[in-house]
């Protein structure tokens, strides 16, 4: 996708306008933005922790990107699913939620392959990269928060044994490199 030229509108030009707004104007601006798009609503709910399941809209988007109607001409949208995780991280700054979405992303891709057959090398490279990122995030969590994610990462690795493209081998290497000491205990 070609990078669009800026029309001269930048944050540095917008920021003074916002700083000159009074509280009432600022609240109205946020309200207008909230009503403007579902994405803005999801962002604000995530930022302020409003709602029962803050991850639900992100998981729904990942599902839509990774599980396709096989009768349609849609394609798997890896980059959109990855961007969904990035959007959550920017909105909420919650590492547990981020790890949950990363592991969920790989679970979805893995389950799609198990259910519908082999995809392609680029797809598996994306899953392997997200798996690796998830492992690194899990290892950054306090020890008492790692076990559930470690179990899910192990299940992904085990269930991938019949998938090609060196996908399973890479998952296994990454998993055992990260968790070998825990497995021996």
Name the residue among 116, 157, 126 with its Cα closest to residue 62. 126
What average pLDDT does the segment 123-151 reach? 97
Question: Which range is least confidently modeled, 115-119, 171-175, 179-183?
Answer: 179-183
Domain map of the chain by residue range? 53-184
Q: Determine contact, residues 60/52, Cβ cutoff 8 Å.
A: no
User: What is d(CA 78, CA 166) in angstroms, rounded to the nearest whole number?
Assistant: 19
> pTM surpassing 0.85?
yes
């Amino acid at each position: 996708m070609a990078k669009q030229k800026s029309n001269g509108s930048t944050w540095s030009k917008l920021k003074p306008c916002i700083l000159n707004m009074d509280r009432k104007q600022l609240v109205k601006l946020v309200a207008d933005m909230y009503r403007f798009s579902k994405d803005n609503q999801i962002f604000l709910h995530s930022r302020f922790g409003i709602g029962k399941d803050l991850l639900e809209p992100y998981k729904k988007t990942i599902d839509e990107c990774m599980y396709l109607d096989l009768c349609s001409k849609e394609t798997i949208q890896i980059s959109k699913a990855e961007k969904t995780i990035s959007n959550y991280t920017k909105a909420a700054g919650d590492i547990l939620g981020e790890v949950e979405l990363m592991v969920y992303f790989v679970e979805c891709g893995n389950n799609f392959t198990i259910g519908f057959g082999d995809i392609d090398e680029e797809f598996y490279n994306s899953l392997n990269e997200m798996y690796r990122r998830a492992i690194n995030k899990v290892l950054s969590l306090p020890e008492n928060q790692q076990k559930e994610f470690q179990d899910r990462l192990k299940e992904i690795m085990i269930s991938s044994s019949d998938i090609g493209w060196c996908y399973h081998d890479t998952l296994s290497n990454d998993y055992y490199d990260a968790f070998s000491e825990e497995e021996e205990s």
